[in-house]
A and B are shown apart, each in its own frame.
Chain A
């Protein structure tokens, strides 16, 4: 380097803007959505991309709960399932419009999160983990067993979404819908983090007792963010079902919940960009490993362990720290 006193590494500047500031984050997310299609060789890539953006909505919501409020949930796939089955069941049984069904699913998720969240969020640590886990498994079990409504373990067809007489189809269309909705949810999440609620959440994360002592209504804020994250997951579930055209109880299963938590932690707790990056890693990794399909699970397990051991704070925070340190 010619000038050792240069203020900062250019990359670190971009990254600082990207992760520290609201507008910067949104710009980076917009670039992440807009740029890849320029080099996509086939529609398969749009398909994978659409799934990344849709699931990122759920992991952004879960990150609000885990990264900001410090509460873990091993049952969030249950809400994905509710959103997914809402757009599958309501239009076919009651002739509801797809969007209305999506809203109904989100409302059910919110109500369920509100009433279940009150007792569950009183629990701490591992007890909270097992309670949310049990809660999620119960929801998945209902989808598996109420076959008259849900088609049982084989799942059911999801009618296509029709907007203004125009049926929404094609991986590329869903890529853009998913990307836009993901950016919108990120924007809402960033506003929440910046609000008094966000500050209260961080206080709870640091120490519940201390937050309570200074007058933060801990129970109410935890419940609020639990409900918000449930709505995020439910909407992601609705999109996923509408995009795929078919839904099975696996969408609400324990492994999906684990996947979501892994996305948040691998990307970086408390980082919205991190959630999107973490989701991309967990969705894209298995796709690139299809050529060794027998070894797929072995490799995914190994990758999860390696990421957690060597990049403990998550990809985005670790990257930021590295670049800042080099620049300083």
Chain B
């Protein structure tokens, strides 16, 4: 039982990070139909920038804030410089542009920062808390709480604010939203900014637990992408459930089956889910008109 709890805790912690990455995917996908493979680089930038600003003498909270703002600017830049000029391109072309952006950002990070592994100090010490025979790092609780806060804030934003409704309207039907007077170009740019900020927050939260380096973004993006798919592309609740699901499956797979194939578990489950439900857990099927 203690073992089970231990796996569940570590699974939920990583899962919360995957969920944030998947949420970022979902926001951009809903607003613009773009699958942003550079989403993992936002997580990397958030973590790496915080580390280096801290090394430069800034206190950690200020460094984290600056890092998140800087990543947000990168997100807006990605939209303005790479996605907007390619308006109307095919989905595959857009995917390749974002993959190009991710290679670019990784290369830039290797130059601006360095190629070594880095870590941030945990927020509330490294003394594990004992729960039912399992031990939980305080930072895990920070990650879970942080993810929960972001989900609640996003939910309130979409349900309770006019601009949130405008984003939802743009996601539902871009042309109709534009006709109703919504500045859809601004909404799409905004969704890139928010996605980048969420990714950076995930990076800041998780770097005290997992190490960060210039190239952690790729695997992060793949897992987040898989989580978003598992939940059904474009569904924010699906993204959260998918993220936690992939995290838990990985932890249990590593614990009970094989730690070597930890990364494989998530992908196997995704393949199985897609074969049974070709639109993910919460996705709706689309009807093709001829």
A residues apposed to B, CB below 8 Å: 66, 72, 119-120, 122-127, 129-131, 133-135, 137-138, 141, 145, 207-210, 213, 254-255, 258, 261-262, 265, 269, 294-305, 308-309, 312
Contacts and interface: CB of A to CB of B under 8 A. Distances in A.
Given A294-B111, A297-B106, A305 B288 contact: no
A298 B279 contact: no
Interface stretch (B49-57, B186-194, B259-267): B259-267
B96 A138 contact: no
Main secondary structure of the interface of A (DSSP, over half): helix
Given A122-B278, A254-B222, A295-B107, A131 B35 contact: no
Main secondary structure of the interface of B (DSSP, over half): helix
Contacts of B225: 130, 133
Given A127-B229, A127-B233, A294-B111, A308 B288 contact: no
A300 B103 contact: yes
Given A119-B275, A309-B85, A126 B35 contact: yes
18 contacts: A119-B275, A122-B275, A125-B91, A126-B233, A127-B280, A129-B95, A130-B226, A131-B271, A134-B267, A134-B270, A137-B267, A209-B290, A300-B104, A301-B103, A301-B104, A301-B105, A304-B99, A305-B100
Contacts of A309: 82, 85-86, 89, 97
Contacts of B91: 125-126
Contacts of A145: 260-261
A305 B91 CA distance: 14
Contacts of A258: 96, 99
A124 B274 CA distance: 10
A312 B89 contact: yes
Contact of A141 (B82, B97, B264, B270): B264
A119 B275 CA distance: 6
B93 interface: yes
Contacts of B93: 265, 308, 312
A299 B111 CA distance: 12
Interface in B239-264: 260-261, 263-264
